[in-house]
């Protein structure tokens, strides 16, 4: 598998230097810890920090900037940043600033972020976190809550919390807001092909030429069903039906939608899928207040798509989703 890379040992550094080259008027790159951060970091009462393993670009560095993230910490491919990296990121903020960590719900991510959080507390920092667990692909009821991973819906959390932080929300207010948003946020995806990890010789799953795989994770975690591909509409119906059973929505409920390409999915296909979602939501008489389509949180070069729904419980959420940002990838 040809990839536009050089020495695989330097992939993360090369990529982040490239990102800094594009955005050098706005962001800094800390090469020791692979951290991307806003030049005007001290501007907010509360710094919003996120991150995770690489291979999910543009997440999360593409969301660093005014109105979204203060800092992104970038681990190796599919490997979360270490507590040391995360602590180094926290230390970049002003001691008078509070810090909110946005953590995706993967066991190793949660461990490392919470470990850094407790070290930062020992240093006298005012710090807290929210854990995003929007992925609802796991069918087994027993292991369900444990295995709800943090996936593309995280970008909507970045957007809403980033906008509220820019407005001057306190740490406690941001934590409460984040928790409310996350409770109303669910994501489901489908893969048409697996990701090719440059550190591995084999993809994490295989599909026949005509097969798709529902519910597969962004690191290739097991999905819930393989079946023959039929059409975009069929994919949309499957995913919306599953999401509908979780929300038990009623006519006129307000929703935001994120449609997300998983890495190698052309925009043409993303918009065709978006149109199928539009028709289904119209049939359900859902009041769609916000739609975003694009390649936002990926699994390297996986071909596939996910849909995140957010039930809008507060008109402020819609305002924050629509507010201006200065970031590379929103």
Catalytic site positions? 56, 219
3 state SS of 85: helix
The footprint of a second copy on this chain (CB under 8 A) covers a number of residues equal to: 57
Positions in 9-48 near a second copy (CB under 8 A): 11, 14-19, 21-22
Confirm or reject binding of residue 231 to a second copy (CB under 8 A). yes
Question: Least distance to a second copy from the beta carbon of 288, Å?
Answer: 8
3 state SS of 70: coil
Task: Rank residues 229 and 247 by Cβ distance to a second copy and give the closer one.
Answer: 229
Question: What mask, x for binding a second copy by CB under 8 A, covers residues 290 to 319?
Answer: -xxxxx--x-xx-x-x--------------
Q: Pick from 270, 280, 306, 321 the residue near a second copy by CB under 8 A.
A: 270
Confirm or reject binding of residue 202 to a second copy (CB under 8 A). no
Question: What mask, x for binding a second copy by CB under 8 A, covers residues 146 to 185?
Answer: ----------------------------------------
Task: Rank residues 221 and 233 by Cβ distance to a second copy and give the closer one.
Answer: 233
Give the DSSP letter string of 241-257.
HHHHHHH---TT-EEEE
3 state SS of 122: helix
Cβ partners under 8 Å of residue 299, min gap 6: 55, 56, 191, 195, 217, 218, 219, 220, 262, 263
- Of 92-100, 144-152, 160-168, 268-276: span binding a second copy (CB under 8 A): 268-276
Q: Pick from 34, 137, 204, 232 the residue near a second copy by CB under 8 A.
A: 232
Task: Rank residues 8 and 246 by Cβ distance to a second copy and give the closer one.
Answer: 8
User: Which token pair is 299?
Assistant: 């699994």
Confirm or reject binding of residue 265 to a second copy (CB under 8 A). yes
- Of 45-53, 63-71, 154-162, 286-294: span binding a second copy (CB under 8 A): 286-294
Question: Least distance to a second copy from the beta carbon of 173, Å?
Answer: 28
Q: Phi and psi dihedrals of 81, rounded to 5?
A: -65, 155
3 state SS of 95: coil
- Is the torsion defined by CA of 266, 56, 157, 326 positive or negative? negative
How far apart are the C-alpha atoms of 195 and 199, rounded to whole Å?
11
Strands 303-311 and 254-261: antiparallel
- Residue 15 burial (CB count, 10 A): 16
Helical H runs in the chain? 11-22, 83-92, 107-122, 144-147, 154-166, 171-183, 232-247, 267-283, 315-322
List residues binding a second copy (CB under 8 A).
Answer: 2-6, 11, 14-19, 21-22, 54-55, 57-58, 62, 192-193, 209-210, 212, 229, 231-233, 235, 263-278, 288, 291-295, 298, 300-301, 303, 305, 329
């Amino acid at each position: 598998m040809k990839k536009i890379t050089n020495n695989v040992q330097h992939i993360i550094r090369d990529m982040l230097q490239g990102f800094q080259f594009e955005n050098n008027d706005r962001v800094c790159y800390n090469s020791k810890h692979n951290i991307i951060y806003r030049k005007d970091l001290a501007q907010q009462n509360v710094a919003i920090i996120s991150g995770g393993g690489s291979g999910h670009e543009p997440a999360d560095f593409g969301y660093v900037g005014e109105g979204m993230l203060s800092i992104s910490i970038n681990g190796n491919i599919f490997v979360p940043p270490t507590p040391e990296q995360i602590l180094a990121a926290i230390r970049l903020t002003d001691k008078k600033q509070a810090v909110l960590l946005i953590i995706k719900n993967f066991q190793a991510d949660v461990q490392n972020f919470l470990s850094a959080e407790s070290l930062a507390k020992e240093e006298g920092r005012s710090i807290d976190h929210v854990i995003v667990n929007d992925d609802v692909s796991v069918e087994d009821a027993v292991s369900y809550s444990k295995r709800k991973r943090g996936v593309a819906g995280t970008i909507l959390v970045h957007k809403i919390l980033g906008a509220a932080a820019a407005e001057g929300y306190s740490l406690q207010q941001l934590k409460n807001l984040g928790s409310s948003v996350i409770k109303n946020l669910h994501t489901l995806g489908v893969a048409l092909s697996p990701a090719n990890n440059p550190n591995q010789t084999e993809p994490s799953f295989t599909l026949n030429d005509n097969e798709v795989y529902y519910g597969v994770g962004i690191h290739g975690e097991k999905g819930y069903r393989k079946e023959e591909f039929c059409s975009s509409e069929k994919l949309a119906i499957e995913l919306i039906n599953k999401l509908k059973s979780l929300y038990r929505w009623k006519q006129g409920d307000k929703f935001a939608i994120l449609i997300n390409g998983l890495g190698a999915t052309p925009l043409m296909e993303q918009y065709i899928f978006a149109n199928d979602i539009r028709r289904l939501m119209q049939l359900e008489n859902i009041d769609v207040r916000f739609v975003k389509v694009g390649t936002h949180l990926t699994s390297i070069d996986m071909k596939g798509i996910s849909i995140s729904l957010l039930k809008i419980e507060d008109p402020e959420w819609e305002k924050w989703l629509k507010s201006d940002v200065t970031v590379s990838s929103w």
